[in-house]
């Protein structure tokens, strides 16, 4: 993992790895895991609605304006999948920051790094992008209205729908791979 660096004659030092480098092995393990995606969404469902609740209670006017602008950018119809993922990540990060809880923000940043792969394929599923833009707008509207209950519920609904789409996609992909490999077929 390159956590320790040693140089001849200069000694051994702890390298300056960022969160992404440290999470890479965990991302790999999560991608290989049959249950990783569902567990990832369980954790998101535990944390992200709470972040939306706190953002509705704590966000400053400038943060609210930034959330509105980000939601508007995410509703543009001519965005590529990569652009949609970037705006999605940005919006969730802004909500976490607006919650004014540094530990929650850090936990959600870690989870976002783990969720990167799932975001990449869920955004390409039919109608996901359009539905996500509408859900993001409802979340932001609730936060801007300073309605914590509605903000938390809107975020929970959003994460539930994305989870269902991602898990269904993963199941179809696994079934297709098994069919191609002949797994589960009976010898006749």
In this structure, the chain runs to a length of 188
Mean pLDDT, range 2-14, rounded to an integer: 62
Mean pLDDT of 1-26: 59
Say whether pLDDT at 27 is over 80.
no
Q: What is the pLDDT of residues 37-95, one digit of tens each?
A: 888 899 999 999 999 999 999 999 999 999 999 999 998 878 888 898 899 999 999 99
> pLDDT tens digits for 91-108?
999 999 999 999 999 999
CA 41, distance to chain mean position in Å, is 9
Average pLDDT over residues 104-114: 90
Domain ranges of the chain: 35-166
Contacts of 56 (CB under 8 A, 6+ apart): 142, 143, 145, 146, 147, 148, 150, 151, 152
Is residue 76 within 8 Å of 100, Cβ to Cβ? no
pLDDT at position 175 = 82
Answer whether CATH 3.40.50.1370 is correct for domain 35-166.
no
Q: What is the pTM of this model?
A: 0.77
Determine the Cα–Cα distance for residues 96 and 47; give it in Å rounded to an integer: 10
- pLDDT of 123-175, one tens digit each? 777 667 779 999 999 999 999 999 999 999 999 999 999 988 888 877 887 78
pLDDT at site 32: 41
Backbone region of residue 186 per phi and psi (left: phi > 0; alpha: psi in -120 to 50; beta: other values): beta
Neighbours of 127 (CB within 10 A): 8
DSSP 12-68: EEE----HHHHHHHHHHHHHH-SSHHHHHHHHHHHHHHHHHHHHHHH--HHHHHHHH
């Amino acid at each position: 993992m390159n956590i320790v660096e040693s140089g001849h004659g200069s000694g051994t030092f702890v390298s300056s790895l960022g969160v992404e480098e440290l999470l890479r092995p965990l991302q790999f393990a999560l991608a290989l895991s049959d249950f990783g995606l569902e567990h990832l969404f369980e954790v998101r469902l535990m944390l992200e609605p709470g972040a939306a609740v706190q953002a509705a209670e704590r966000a400053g006017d400038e943060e609210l304006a930034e959330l509105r602008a980000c939601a508007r950018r995410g509703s543009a119809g001519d965005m590529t999948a990569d652009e949609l993922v970037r705006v999605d990540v940005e919006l969730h990060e802004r909500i976490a920051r607006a919650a004014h809880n540094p530990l929650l923000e850090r936990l959600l940043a870690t989870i976002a790094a783990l969720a990167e792969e799932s975001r990449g394929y869920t955004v390409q599923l039919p109608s996901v992008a359009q539905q996500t833009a509408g859900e993001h707008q409802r979340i932001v509207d609730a936060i801007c209205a300073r309605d914590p209950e509605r903000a938390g519920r809107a975020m929970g609904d959003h994460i539930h729908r994305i989870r269902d789409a991602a898990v269904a996609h993963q199941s179809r992909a696994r079934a297709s791979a098994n069919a191609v490999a002949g797994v589960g077929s009976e010898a006749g």
